[in-house]
């Protein structure tokens, strides 16, 4: 059984979708991040980083209980455990590339944008309007890559880098 530590935010949603799609049995353990429950000693024993999602697999390798935290680590762990949604050896590189593109680029950037637009105690125009990200080409780059990839059914998409700050073009 998987104990799934959850709050209705984007990263836990990735795990919820995986669990539902694969039919893996799980129990939801709500963590109210608005009340700071992710900082409780009990939760920090599961995820020292104090963030959701996290899981405890009560039937891990060899029957041992295993904790896993960070949405990407959880997706990889559950994929390997179930043998589902991991692709084939032929497309594994592509699958891992997109998984980590979301995990290390688009995901964190989007999260920071939401924080500065909606939750930051001080409204900083530089952070809110993305001036810094646009100046170094980050916003157009990620947006162009994601838009091209999700709007094409052709598979691999040839992209060219633009040095003028316009990002990448398909």
| 9 has a pLDDT exceeding 90 | no
Q: What angle separates helix 10-22 from helix 71-82, to the nearest 10 degrees?
A: 10
Q: What is the pLDDT of residue 140?
A: 53
pLDDT digits (tens, 9 = 90+) for 33-90: 999 999 999 999 999 999 999 999 999 999 999 999 999 999 999 999 999 999 899 9
| Domain annotation covers residue 45 | yes
Q: What pLDDT score was predicted for residue 122?
A: 83
Q: Which tens digit of pLDDT belongs to each residue from 139-162?
A: 556 667 667 777 755 454 444 433
Task: Give the range among 24-38, 91-105, 146-160 with minimum mean pLDDT.
Answer: 146-160
Q: Answer yes or no: do 21 and 63 share one domain.
A: yes
Tokens of 22: 């694969």
Query: CA 55, CA 145: separation in Å to the nearest integer?
Result: 31
> The domain spanning residue 42 has which CATH number?
3.40.30.10
In a domain, 109, yes or no: yes
Q: What is the pTM of this model?
A: 0.73
Residues 6 and 78 in one domain: yes
pLDDT tens digit string along 13-24?
999 999 999 999
CA atoms within 13 A on the CB side of 3: 12
Q: Tell me the residue range of the domain where 164 lies.
A: 93-169
User: How many independent structural domains does the chain possess?
Assistant: 2
Residues 73 and 144 in one domain: no
> Do 7 and 78 have their domain in common?
yes
């Amino acid at each position: 059984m998987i104990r799934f530590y959850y709050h209705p935010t984007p990263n836990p949603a990735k795990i919820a979708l995986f669990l539902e799609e694969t039919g893996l049995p799980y129990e939801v353990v709500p963590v109210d991040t608005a009340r700071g429950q992710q900082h409780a000693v009990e939760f920090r024993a599961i995820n020292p980083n104090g963030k959701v999602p996290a899981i405890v697999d009560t039937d891990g390798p060899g029957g041992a209980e295993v904790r896993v935290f960070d949405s990407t680590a959880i997706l990889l762990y559950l994929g390997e455990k179930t043998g589902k949604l991991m692709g084939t050896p032929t497309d594994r590189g592509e699958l891992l590339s997109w998984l980590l593109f979301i995990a290390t680029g688009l995901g964190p950037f989007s999260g920071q944008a939401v924080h500065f637009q909606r939750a930051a105690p001080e409204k900083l125009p530089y952070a809110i309007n993305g001036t810094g990200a646009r100046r170094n080409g980050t916003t157009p780059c990620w947006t162009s890559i994601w838009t091209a990839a999700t709007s094409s059914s052709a598979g691999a998409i040839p992209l060219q880098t633009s040095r003028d700050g316009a990002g990448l073009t398909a």
